[in-house]
Homo-oligomer: A and B are copies of this chain.
Amino acid sequence: MDASIRDKVAVIGVGCTKFGDLFDQNLADLMVEAATAACADAGVGLDELNAAWLGTFSPGMNGGKATITLADALRFHGRPITRVENYCATGTDAFRNAVMAVASGQVKMALVLGAEKLKDRPVRGLQREGIHPLLEYGTTAPGMFALAANRYMNTYGVKRESLAKVAVKNHAAGALNPKAHFQMKVTEEQVLKAPLIAYPFGLFDCCPTTDGAAAAIICSAETARALGKPLITVKGMGLAVRTGKPFLDPTCDYRGFPATQEASAQAYKAAGIKNPVEEISFAEVHDCFTWTELTNTEDLGFCKAGEGPRFVEEGHSTIGGKLPVNPSGGLKSFGHPVGATGVRMVYEIVTQLREQAGPRQVKNARIGLAHNLGGPGAVSCVLLLGRDT
């Protein structure tokens, strides 16, 4: 991944549904709401889009159909639609592929749509995905991440109180966000006394199971300029896959995720970023669990290894801090419909860069970072977006 992508591709429109338990909307309904909002925001019609990328991890409704569901829901017929799936990095990787297609000159204007329906699914959930606990080493996502968190906490002498501070911070941000799944503050005491899921994670250390969709319209920077749009461009991108068997990976010491370190190195190189904490204005990072945000801030180079807890404790990652992390509320509070999350992060970054984020607005937002981590921990995708002037 080299610097040739920088500033070539612009985001001219974004849209996002309310995230939550959306029992009255199916996958197609969510797609329509997010895509039409993005088109309205861009000031272009659906018929002006030349191709689409759909990020969805598990399109359970409609018998597992993905690209056809998009085609029928949006009457997006006769045009290319690609489905990308890459665990929890599905949304950012769909965006990444669309950006390269636009940069290649093959596609003039593209829709990137992330959508996921995790509630009221027609076929038995986890078993349908082949990730039923009884099939997969007896583990679940909370169990896997808890193993890593315990190792980390033991190594650095970290207590559950430090993890709880992430939940308090992200719920406080989510309380300011009308689209968040949970618009409620929590106290450190509430987090610590919540029912335990998998030690050290209590209920409020875990992101919820959420329905939602988000969309972005992208085109070349020249096209964006010709349309008179404020220029928000892709500065860099990175994607890395590590092993799904971390016990066998000598480079994985459970104190961080090499995939995130590698993906962010690719993105920083492309964007010409030398000092992330100085040059990045804010970040949306993959806080599937509170501990994950701590280790993410280290892997992304916002602080040194083992300093993630102090980074949040000293308030550096609050909306008013030196590098706000998850001003949207994060997965923790905004919710995590798998394939939608990465595109939802793009929505938040564009909203912040335009200074349209209202009470959760980050000051002097110039460069925003989106980060997904999936697999669990094996796949990471990092995007950097920035605004001109």
Contact = CB atoms under 8 A, between A and B. Distances in A.
Interface residues of A, number: 66
A262 B71 CA distance: 14
Given A103-B106, A128-B128, A135-B122, A76 B241 contact: yes
Number of this chain's copies in the complex? 2
A106 B244 contact: no
Given A4-B105, A71-B243, A122-B135, A85 B97 contact: no
A241 B81 contact: yes
Given A130-B63, A136-B63, A243 B101 contact: no
A268 to B, nearest CB: 15
B64 A242 contact: no
A151 interface: no
B104 A243 contact: no
A94 to B, nearest CB: 9
Interface in A122-138: 122-123, 127-131, 135-136
Contacts of A128: 123, 128, 130
A130 B71 contact: no
A86 interface: yes
Given A84-B84, A104-B103, A130 B244 contact: no
Given A68-B375, A105-B103, A106-B2, A80 B240 contact: yes
Interface string A69-97: 11110001111111111110000010011
Interface string A311-354: 00000000000000000000000000000000000000000000
A71 B378 contact: yes
Interface string A209-249: 00000000000000000000000000001111111110001
Contact of A243 (B60, B68, B107): B68
A106 B71 CA distance: 28
B123 A135 contact: yes
A141 to B, nearest CB: 13
A103 B130 CA distance: 36
Contact of A105 (B2, B63, B127, B375): B2
Given A82-B84, A82-B86, A84-B84, 16 more contacts: A1-B107, A60-B130, A63-B135, A64-B129, A67-B86, A67-B379, A68-B379, A71-B243, A77-B243, A78-B242, A80-B240, A82-B96, A97-B97, A106-B237, A122-B135, A128-B130
Identify the 8 closest CB pairs spanning chains A and B, nearest first.
Answer: A64-B130, A80-B239, A68-B244, A103-B104, A104-B104, A71-B241, A4-B105, A100-B104
5 contacts: A68-B241, A68-B379, A82-B239, A100-B106, A101-B104
Interface of A: 1-2, 4-5, 50-51, 60, 62-72, 76-87, 93, 96-97, 100-101, 103-107, 122-123, 127-131, 135-136, 237-245, 249, 258-259, 262, 266, 375, 378-379
